[in-house]
Structure 1
Amino acid sequence: MDDSSFLNEGGDHLDLLLATSEIGVWELDAATGDAVRNLRHDQIFGHDALLDRWSAEIFLTYVFEEDRERVGELLRSALKDGEPWAFEARIRRADGVDRWISARGVPRLAPSGEVSKLIGHVIDITELKQNEDRLKLLSRELNHRVSNTFTIMNSMIRHASKKASTVEQFAETLMERLGALARSNRVLVAEEAKRSSLREILTMEMEAFAGWQKRISINGTTDFWFSGEASEALAMIFHELLTNAVKHGALSISSGHVAIDISTGPDRQVRIDWVETGGPALPRDRRQGIGSTILQNAMRGEGSVTLDFAPEGLICRIVVNDGFQREVPEAPLAPSTLSVEEPPAVDKSFSGVRVMVVEDDPIIGLDLSDILKARGATVMGPFTTVATALVALREGPDVALLDLNLGQETTDDVARQLSKLSIPFVVLSGQNDFSSLDEAFATAPLISKPFREQDLLNGLARFV
């Protein structure tokens, strides 16, 4: 095809471009106020076919009333002063649907210097605006949640320090509660069904207390779905109940048992009764600590938690109001047993084992080094960049501990090189979604932050 043929067919190419880019084009006559436009233009405003007539006045009737004066003034300025006309506004289409548009026009001048017409385009930006709104909402929620989390941590430190008699006891209590916070956060960012399912909340907390399931019975359906706030509250409540039962209650001796009875009440309330039997007798005089405070205030006015410290065992009734519930997903979760088996704890010396640590956070890196050195390992690192980690591989580590993200870079290249050299590694990450990992990570154990020391040691011990 020669150049002239291509130019002659330019109109077809332009039509194709406009059609595939979803752009409405228009040309407004300054003298008459009437406009010509393409079909996509009128479709953006809710019409299946071109209208017989379009004008600036007709256009403004579609604009939301609170935006109308601003957009009209911009149009008048463009026609009077020859300024470009650009804006974003909300419209209500002919079919009653509310949308966002972005429009831009530029003036064309007559020989006299006056504006003779405006030509421009309009596009539907509703999806973009919705994404912006979601990001703003997520940002506000993240700021709120981070602030609350630090406040909760401060409270935990103050209360734990009052009751702990040794530094070790204080550290253990604090780490357990921080782990509960982390697990509740994973519930909030999980898939919608899992995030809201009572079954998944119970499963998640029982994973942290694996080994006790045979002495816990669950009666009634767990197919209830709750809001994110309720999921977080219930995760904290069950953590406190399990912790108390293991340390002081029914699960602290071999004859004890816990029954979790689930039922529904009036106004779509969900009732969860935690009943301990067979444990040690509870003292009559009890001092209320942070555990009881968490239990009694966790539902934030959308339910209640009542505690009965009966001599034969603790009875806790949790009531969740309708306002904290969600509709059942269209594809409900398949039945599950809520049973979790804990792998046996590995008590193994790492003496003589060279462990390469790839972690960019200095505090976490120091903690990992201390844990490994206490077991006799020789620690290489911590390495905080991919480049330094790749160089360190020349020294031949026996096993590696690998964070997924180092600042703005990922450790995919390190994982591939480790796999190529047949050096096993364990992944340690604060990331919640591992579905998009490179195939080099396929066989590596995945441990989520914050981690339990025993989980970390178990993951490494399988390779040494």
Structure 2
Amino acid sequence: MNDLELPADGSGHLDLILATSEIGIWELDAATGKAVRNLRHDQIFGHDTRLHEWSADTFLTYVEPDDRDRVKQLLEASLAKGEPWSFETRIRRADGAERWISAKGMPKFSDAGQVVKLIGHVIDITETKLNEDRLKLLSRELNHRVANTYAIMNSMVRHASKKATTVEDFSATLLERLAALARANKILIASEAERSSLSDILEVELNAFDGWQGRIRIIGNAKIWFSGAASEALAMILHELLTNAVKHGALSVPKGQVALSIVQGEGRQVLIQWAEEGGPPVPKTRRTGIGSTILQNAMRDEGTVDLDFAEQGLICDILVHHSFEREVLNAADAAPAQTLELPADTKASNDTSCTGRKIMIVEDDPIIGMDIAEIFHSRGAEVLGPFTTVLSALQALRRLPEVALLDVNLRDETSEVIASQLSEQEIPFLILSGQVDHSDLPSSFEGTEVVSKPFFETDLVDRVLSLLREKQVVAPQV
């Protein structure tokens, strides 16, 4: 018998329940290992019609090899001890598709107390497992984003405290930038979480500067969709441009205006030009602070921001590559490794503990990267970076840093290959991570010291100095 017999009483209702619930039912003979089952059972394993026969051994051939021994041991324990046979496992169906199933079998006993049958059900739970995986991924991404956001906030606090001359200035500057960060994050958690339009970004930022919309003329089509990362970068850039225009530029005087033009170019590139006119004369000498750094670095390697402090007003050209989608670069196309040029008015630190030491920084967030670079530059170090891509960091290794700080996730790539190269060259390094569970880090980082984001400045410096001291101890004697 290859199909499971159903009782006559109420069989119509039972058939309906089984058909609508997508449950496969089966009955396994303990002595022979042969099983009878309904059609849905065999469909779960990738067959349109019932097979001629089925057995426990047949079933195990569908179970993925990594799970097979576990499932077999559970079956043997059930037959020997009379325990329920309950498990979830991956299977490879007859058509080659990988699926997840949940199965449970209850033992039936003889008068002598021996297990004679297992009667049970099997359900395809693939969609449930996929949803669980999505939730786990979203949870990890949320934890990472929150930790990274706190790290950005810490960087803003450190930088603002060095620039401000009064508590009021410090508070105002910090609150404005935190608000911009919150607006950028709001864009990323909207209904279109993976992307947003330029018009949405402009609306959010202009609403934050209520009263100035009438003096900003938008030319061109703003209904252009960008990735989440591009949206976040553009929100920060527009905030800095608006803040500067209101405080010092065209919007600081009654007759000043801003023209914002949008042009789509070849290869889906987008050019956004911010042009101020009618404002006060642009001073020939200017302080370079965190605002300029954000403008210059927010696009990372996915676009460019060019500033022209023309006499008639600031002109800022923002070029976004291919809707901010990563393009694979050839080694010949990559920008050469550069040493960070920090603002001229950065306050020097009395701490010279890193004087003459060469420290490489790999970090794709421009604010965090700038902050880390400034921390070590103020202590006398030669700072390489911050580098935002694997390729630019690998090129910098030719300059033989003494120690490196690596962010794990660099947008759509990781720093694993950089870590491998550092290990081969016996260059010590730290991992900077916003991941709460460090066990989720790639295996190539195993055994490496991890600095969690957000971090304390003194803790980060102490750990780098510790690595430098260890390197001196183990250095070969010449």
TM-score normalised over the length of structure 2 = 0.61
Quote the offset at 1:43 in angstroms: 2.6
2:99 counterpart SS class: strand
- Structure 2 counterpart of 1:153, one-letter code: M
* 1:441 equivalent in structure 2: none
List aligned pairs for 1:277-356, cutoff 5 A.
277-322=277-322, 324-325=324-325
Residue 78 and residue 194 in structure 1: after superposition, are their counterparts in 2 closer, same or farther (change >3 A)? closer
Distance 1:96 1:258 in 2: 60
Residue 74 and residue 267 in structure 1: after superposition, are their counterparts in 2 closer, same or farther (change >3 A)? farther
* 1:30 equivalent in structure 2: 30
Distance 1:154 1:104 in 2: 52
Distance 2:219 2:317 in 1: 14
Residue 95 and residue 220 in structure 1: after superposition, are their counterparts in 2 closer, same or farther (change >3 A)? farther
CA deviation digits over 1:217-243, x for unaligned, max 9?
222222322222222221111111111
Distance 2:194 2:202 in 1: 11
Residue 54 and residue 302 in structure 1: after superposition, are their counterparts in 2 closer, same or farther (change >3 A)? farther
Quote the offset at 1:84 in angstroms: 2.6
* 1:271 equivalent in structure 2: 271
List aligned pairs for 1:391-402, cutoff 5 A.
none
1:17 counterpart SS class: helix
Distance 1:196 1:111 in 2: 69
Residue 187 and residue 64 in structure 1: after superposition, are their counterparts in 2 closer, same or farther (change >3 A)? same
**Native 8 Å contact 1:225 1:325 kept in 2:** no
* 1:92 equivalent in structure 2: 92
Distance 1:194 1:202 in 2: 17
Quote the offset at 1:110 in angstroms: 4.0
CA deviation digits over 1:24-56, x for unaligned, max 9?
111122333322112222232233433332222
Residue 211 of structure 1 pairs with residue 214 of structure 2: no
Distance 2:86 2:320 in 1: 51
Residue 180 of structure 1 pairs with residue 180 of structure 2: yes
Residue 127 of structure 1 pairs with residue 134 of structure 2: no
Distance 1:308 1:145 in 2: 33
Gap runs ≥5 in structure 2? 1-6, 327-478
Distance 1:291 1:116 in 2: 77
Residue 144 of structure 1 pairs with residue 124 of structure 2: no
**Native 8 Å contact 1:187 1:194 kept in 2:** no
Distance 1:295 1:60 in 2: 59
Residue 110 and residue 267 in structure 1: after superposition, are their counterparts in 2 closer, same or farther (change >3 A)? farther
1:145 counterpart SS class: helix
* 1:51 equivalent in structure 2: 51
Distance 1:73 1:323 in 2: 53
* 1:83 equivalent in structure 2: 83
- Structure 1 counterpart of 2:85, one-letter code: W
2:190 counterpart SS class: coil
* 2:39 equivalent in structure 1: 39
CA deviation digits over 1:256-313, x for unaligned, max 9?
2222222234443322222222222222222221111222222243333232323322
* 1:15 equivalent in structure 2: 15
Distance 2:267 2:49 in 1: 50
Distance 1:198 1:34 in 2: 64
* 2:170 equivalent in structure 1: 170
Gap runs ≥5 in structure 1? 1-6, 327-464
1:146 counterpart SS class: helix
Distance 2:60 2:126 in 1: 18
* 1:434 equivalent in structure 2: none
Residue 33 and residue 263 in structure 1: after superposition, are their counterparts in 2 closer, same or farther (change >3 A)? farther
- Structure 1 counterpart of 2:201, one-letter code: I
Quote the offset at 1:191 in angstroms: 0.9
Residue 86 and residue 194 in structure 1: after superposition, are their counterparts in 2 closer, same or farther (change >3 A)? closer
Distance 1:75 1:286 in 2: 77
Distance 1:281 1:62 in 2: 76
Quote the offset at 1:141 in angstroms: 1.5
- Structure 2 counterpart of 1:303, one-letter code: G
- Structure 1 counterpart of 2:39, one-letter code: L
**Native 8 Å contact 2:89 2:101 kept in 1:** yes
- Structure 2 counterpart of 1:271, one-letter code: L
Q: Give the number of equivalent residue pairs.
A: 320
Residue 63 of structure 1 pairs with residue 63 of structure 2: yes
Identity of aligned residues (%): 68
* 1:372 equivalent in structure 2: none
List aligned pairs for 1:443-462, cutoff 5 A.
none
- Structure 2 counterpart of 1:50, one-letter code: R
List aligned pairs for 1:97-108, cutoff 5 A.
97-108=97-108
Bigger relative contact order, structure 1 or 2 (CA pairs below 8 A, ≥6 apart): 2
Quote the offset at 1:206 in angstroms: 1.1
Residue 306 and residue 87 in structure 1: after superposition, are their counterparts in 2 closer, same or farther (change >3 A)? farther
* 1:453 equivalent in structure 2: none
Distance 2:50 2:278 in 1: 79
Residue 254 of structure 1 pairs with residue 254 of structure 2: yes
Q: Output the aligned Cα RMSD.
A: 2.6
Residue 320 and residue 114 in structure 1: after superposition, are their counterparts in 2 closer, same or farther (change >3 A)? farther
Distance 2:172 2:95 in 1: 61
1:241 counterpart SS class: helix
